[in-house]
Amino acid sequence: MTPRDTGVQDTPTAAVRVRAAEGDVDETSLARIRAKVLAALDRPGLPPLGGEVRITRAAARHTEQPWSAGGEIRVGADLVVVHAQEATAYRLADRLHDRLRGQVERVVHRGETARRTSAPPPWRGGPGGAQSAEASPGS
């Protein structure tokens, strides 16, 4: 069975772009952030992915957290939105990795729990409803 047959990409991160939007973002920082974002999305069984993450560095030196990122990534039919702001590119990469991984896990597992069915309440014929009415004496 090939990835085409199952609807899952063999390289799920191919359609996710990580780019510098504004400010003086050097290539090494961008490469580290790109690696961490793609590592968060690199897991088997994910539906097709697409979207982008934009990295910004504030020009003002007095800013406490000059590095910021914002991204929208489609995971199948769901949209995952992540935002982060940090003092260094290294911390921003780690923060993005954690937030993105958590959001993707939530989206993937939400589908599993949402499809679980529960038993109907007793007044609608669920467990204990019909049996207790037949077994009650004096009716």
How many residues are listed for the chain in this entry?
A: 139
pLDDT, tens digit, 9 for 90 and up, residues 32-45: 999 999 999 988 88
Write out the DSSP string of 10-56. SSTTTTEEEEEEES---HHHHHHHHHHHHHHH--TTPPPEEEEEEEE
CATH number, span 3-114: 3.30.160.100
> pLDDT-derived band of residue 54, with 50, 70 and 90 as boundaries?
very high
Give me 49's structure tokens. 């992915």
Instruction: Show Cβ contacts of residue 43 under 8 Å, excluding neighbours closer than 6 positions.
Output: 12, 104
Q: What mean pLDDT, rounded, does the chain reach?
A: 81
User: Against a cut of 0.85, is the pTM above it?
Assistant: no
Specify the higher pLDDT residue, 48 or 132. Answer: 48
> pLDDT-derived band of residue 86, with 50, 70 and 90 as boundaries?
very high
